[in-house]
Amino acid sequence: MAYVAENETVLGYPKLAARMSANPEWLSFRSFAALNIQIGFVKQAELNHYERLLRSVESKEYHLGYSQDWYLTISEEDARTECSSSSKEQPSQMKLVRTIEKKLKEYSTNS
């Protein structure tokens, strides 16, 4: 690591950073642990909400066969992507699964 001489830096954070780089044992950064934990709780609550919604939609759409064959959901999504003129809406299960997938990625990177 290259040492930056204190006399080559201006007062304030640049000088403090130069001094601390010369003495890394002085380094102390706040971790914001309580905030990180609170955000984790919020994300868990959000995921719980989406999970309950998905279970509800699964029950309502059971007769469509999505719960036994996800290919039906995926193939309908692909068909609508290829034929954008179709007025059919994407199955709610697939919308929820895509939303949950994004939320899970956010949750995994923050926990």
Q: Residue 67: its pLDDT value, please?
A: 67
Percent helix, strand and coil across the chain, each to the nearest 5? 70, 0, 30
Q: Residue 92: its pLDDT value, please?
A: 74
Ranges of residues in the chain with a pLDDT under 50 are: 1, 79, 82-87, 90
- Shared-domain flag, residues 26 and 36: no
Structural domain total, the chain: 2
Is the distance from CB of 74 to CB of 94 less than 8 angstroms?
Answer: yes
Closest by CA position to 21, among listed 8, 32, 6, 7: 6
- Shared-domain flag, residues 57 and 4: no
- Shared-domain flag, residues 40 and 1: no
The pTM (predicted TM-score) of the whole model is 0.58
- Shared-domain flag, residues 9 and 51: no
- Please give the Cα distance from 20 to 91 (Å, whole number): 56
- Shared-domain flag, residues 16 and 42: no
- Shared-domain flag, residues 48 and 93: yes
